[in-house]
Amino acid sequence: MRQLQEQKASKEQNNNNASNNHSLVTMLHQIQETYNYLPENVLRELAKEKNIPLVDLYRVATFYSLFSLTPKGKHKILTCTGTACHVRGSEKVTEEISRVLGIQPGETTEDGEYSLEAVNCLGACALAPLVVVDEQYHANMTPAQIGALFNGVRKSTCQDKESSHCHCSSVAVGSKEKS
Amino acid sequence: MPSLQSRINTAADLFRLQETLQQRASSNNRYIAVCGDTGCSAWGSKSVKDVFRDCLEQKGLAGQVGMKFTGCLGLCESGPVVIICPEQIFYQKVQEEDVEEIIDKTVTRGEIIPRLLYQDVLSGETYTYMNEIPFYQKQKRLLMGNNLKIDPNSIEDYLALGGYSATARALTEMTPLEIIDEVKFSKLRGRGGAGFSAGDKWKECYDAVSDRKYIICNADEGDPGAFMDRSLLEGNPHSVLEGLIIGGFAVGAREGMIYVRAEYPTAVVKIKHALHQAEELGLLGENIFGSGFDFQVSISIGAGAFVSGETSALIASIEGRAGEPRQKPPRLAQRGLWGRPTVVNNVESLANIPVILREGEEYRRTGTDKSRGTKIFSLVGKVVNTGLVEVPLGITIREIIEDIGGGIKGGRSFKAVQTGGPSGGCLPEHLLDTPTDFEELNAVGSMMGSGGMIVMDDETCMVDVARYFLRFLQDESCGKCFSCREGINRLLEIIDDIVHGLGTPGHIDLLRELSVVVKDSTLCGLGQTSANPVLSTLQYFEEEYRAHIKDKKCPAGVCKALIHFSIDLEKCTGCGVCKKKCPEEAISGEKKEIHEIDPERCSKCGICLDTCTFDAVLKC
């Protein structure tokens, strides 16, 4: 009986170490870092390789808000929806970004250029309402500033690319906007 | 001079190294501190720091004047903050173009540049030195005070201030039980929100018998509007690490873990760097200070789930599963990470530990009888001085908002203060003299929580605030308990009806009844407290609910369905700016003639109101 218990403990220990080194959440982070999202075929391979039921993988991947099963846009737009941002009017700012880009938080524009995420709190409450575009912080945003902000993003995107390959003009930005 | 590369084998080695570093620091105490915390960085402090560095080099001053890119200096609203030491001359909103002037005038000749000084909004008075500024005067910065003297990437800075002395004392002079007793005696209560005695928690894990135990630092700071844990990890990571090592020794854990939320990438970088430095010096690893105690620390990164901050959910997340809470008992001290006894402490709680061991007496003198020490609050929202404030427990909320925070922004009037995050409540003006004390805050329907303090003015709608938290909780509820999953949905549906003008008189009673059911019948802290924002807004701001339901009006002018925009015929100059900016093309009118808003097309985005320079847009 005692031997059995020891065997069980040792097996548990091995499992623990294995899990410790390769926590599923960490693995999913690594995949997302490589592909910018969690592609289905990669998840299927991982499930096979690690002998984890795909359903378990799917459950973890969909439980956490930072994991995405669909590709993300080239430009990441985060709107902070923390309490400080909310009381200073972030909801209207997010609505205006949604209107300008034609997507809701969590979505990506059809051409794959922009993704919009509403995040709970970025911890920079003095800058509320806060919008982060490609890791650039934009403080004290109002709906009226959004049009100019995205024109700026578009311009810098255009400069980054050869004009013939630039898709910016087709981006939904300003679709309903007057110049 | 002992080389930093060599391992510290004994407490005597540490003290020798500290002394050398202290001498070096005091012989060269002229330096410029640029705040590098997320707030100031977002205002552009990184490039300000780079320009300072280049400029000092160009002027041949790099050898005489040091530079520190520090953790949070508190006054985030005035970022980028630059402090000239040792005098502690406080400059705010410093831009790249100010740098050369600061070096030429202040650093070289000691002249003050008035335009960069902090000015009090109400009195108009300007202040030169950091400690003179009212924002800092009522604070007691036991945990954050050293941020000014520490470059978070430099373990030397931390050691020069006596860093790791508490660990040396604990590991070489004390027994685990003595440490636990000292922490108990200090009356340190968990800073994550629940306020459980840290010493009792450690004792429980100490008593558990197992060949392997774990200690976890909970840095999954999920409360929106709270960022003190992030600032501690980014600004003074070694203080948290010290707390973790001492805790590990006290409870008998040889492995520590820091669970950080993924939204804090800078904190992850800083703490990884700190771990590496501590390992190189032998402050982590085998046989620390020759005490025979081995301890290693790893980092685990979350993936965006508020409920993962709950301790059993946090453990599930580290184990690679969905971060859902489980039924307790068994408590974590019996069955925690990988089934072993585990203790989970919040970042701020751990940062208190070295202070308690080093300055126990001073610590015990701070705070109230039941709640000792200091608490860091993130003072945010509609307040003049937004930032992180560290105050002795027991100070009143009014003192924090009015004396430290400088009152309400933009000359508006105070309406409420929200503490305790989504589990807390909103307090009205007549409760502003409530002391910041765990029991007192609970008694008035709010809670200490992790320390978010969101100030709201008369333009904040309290029904909308309740709706905001319910939406947050709806997103973040893991869905395990029916009463939380469905209860929050139903509460939100009712509030949605109210803000859309579809509320009925019976809704208020229904909200109260349902809130009690959700509170009483869910498993974890998130569910049990999820109705608090509804209950506290109903308790103190019921008339606002009634205005929405009965009069179909939103007194604060927030709820879109209950407000409308129009043009003031007397003020409109016909400049056409609103018409040009309106995204819905809802404004018509010829140039130099009075404009008009079409209520059918108006989406109530408020852009016209924000852009009109003649105050001619009315919202009611």
Average of pLDDT values for B313-337?
93
Q: What is the residue whose two structure tokens read 């395990």?
A: B480
pLDDT above 80 (res A171)? no
Residues of chain A in contact with residue B42, where contact means CB-CB under 8 angstroms, are 124, 127, 130, 137, 139
Q: Which of B303, B469, B472 sits opposite A64 (nearest CB)?
A: B303
Q: pLDDT class for B466, splitting at 50, 70, 90? A: very high
pLDDT category at B4 given cuts 50, 70, 90 is low
Confidence category of residue B620, pLDDT binned at 50, 70, 90:
confident
Give the 3-state secondary structure of residue B195. Answer: coil
Angle (CA) A157-A159-A160 rounded to 5° is 65
Going by C-alpha positions, the residue among B461, B387, B451, B390 that lies closest to residue B419 is B451
**If you count them, how many residues does chain A have?**
179
Q: What is the mean pLDDT of residues B485-502?
A: 97
In the prediction, which pLDDT does B456 show?
Answer: 97
Three-class SS of residue B374? strand
pLDDT tens digits, B394-439: 999 999 999 999 999 998 999 999 999 998 999 999 999 999 999 9
CA geometry: angle A98, B226, B473, nearest 5 deg: 60
**For position A22, what pLDDT does the model report?**
56
Comparing B507 with B371, the larger pLDDT belongs to B507
CA B547 vs. chain centroid, Å, equals 34
Contacts of A29 in chain B (CB under 8 A): 262, 301, 303
Q: How would DSSP label each residue in B548-574?
A: IIII---TTS--GGG--EEE-TTT---
Give yes or no for residue A179 having a pLDDT over 80: no
| Contact assessment for residue B377 and residue B251, using Cβ atoms and an 8 Å cutoff | no
Q: What are the pLDDT digits (tens) for B113-147?
A: 999 999 998 889 999 999 999 999 999 999 999 99
CA neighbours closer than 13 Å in the CB half-sphere of residue B229: 34
| pLDDT score, position A123 | 83
Residue B150 has pLDDT above 50, yes or no: yes
Domains of chain B with CATH codes: 30-85+89-128 (3.40.30.10), 155-363 (3.40.50.11540), 374-457 (3.10.20.600), 462-551 (1.20.1440.230), 564-619 (3.30.70.20)
Tokens of B102: 């600061």
Sequence length of chain B is 620
Phi, psi for residue A79 in degrees, rounded to 5:
-110, 130
Interchain contact, A128 vs B380, CB within 8 Å: yes
Q: Please check the confidence at residue B530 and state whether its pLDDT lies above 60.
A: yes
**CB–CB of A29 and B301 under 8 A?**
yes
pLDDT for residue B371 = 87
CB contact under 8 A, A120 and B386: no
Average pLDDT across chain A, whole number: 79
Sign of CA dihedral B108, B112, B115, B117: positive
Residues 6+ apart with CB under 8 A from B53: B62, B67
Interstrand relation of B118-119 and B126-127 (parallel, antiparallel or unpaired): antiparallel
Beta-strand relationship, B66-70 and B452-457: unpaired
Search chain B and give the residue with CA nearest A17.
B338
Residue B462: closest C-alpha in chain A: A87
Q: What integer is the mean pLDDT of B486-502?
A: 97
Nearest to A123 among B227, B606, B610 (CB): B227
- pLDDT above 70 covers what percent of chain B? 99
Count the helices and strands in chain A (H runs, E runs): 7, 4
Confidence at residue A154, expressed as pLDDT on a 0 to 100 scale: 60
Kindly report, residue by residue over A2-29, the tens digit of the pLDDT. Answer: 444 544 444 444 444 444 445 889 999 9
Under an 8 A CB cutoff, do A120 and B222 touch? Answer: yes
By C-alpha distance, the chain A residue nearest B421 is A83
pLDDT of residue B215: 98
Q: What is the mean pLDDT of residues B555-581?
A: 95
For residue B356, pLDDT over 80 is answered with yes
The helix or strand, by DSSP H or E, that contains position B69, with its residue range, turns out to be strand B66-70
Domains of chain A, earliest start first: 2-63 (no CATH), 75-170 (3.40.30.10)
The CA distance from B6 to B420, in Å, is: 45
Contact flag B38-A142 (C-beta cutoff 8 Å): no
Average pLDDT score, chain B: 95
* Highest mean pLDDT, choosing among B41-45, B255-259, B303-307, B418-422: B255-259
Q: Does A29 touch chain B (CB under 8 A)?
A: yes
Whether residue B607 and residue A121 make contact (CB cut-off 8 A), yes or no, is: no
pLDDT over 90, % of chain B = 88
CA distance B507 to B504: 6
Residue B388's closest CA among B109, B143, B63, B61?
Answer: B143
Residues in A 57-86 with any Cβ partner in B closer than 8 A: 59-60, 63-67, 81-84, 86
Distance CA B310, CA B522 (A): 14
Task: Give me the mean pLDDT over the B350-368 stretch.
Answer: 94
Q: In this predicted structure, what is the pLDDT of residue A172?
A: 33
Q: Does A137 touch chain B (CB under 8 A)?
A: yes
Cβ pair B381:A83 closer than 8 A:
yes
The β-bridge relationship of strands B374-381 and B414-419 is: unpaired
Average pLDDT of span A40-65: 94
> Chain A residue closest to B227 (CA)?
A123
Name the band, by pLDDT with cuts 50, 70 and 90, for residue B304: confident
pLDDT of residue A17: 42
Q: A69-90: per-residue pLDDT in tens?
A: 999 999 999 999 999 999 999 9
Structure letter (DSSP) for residue B383? B
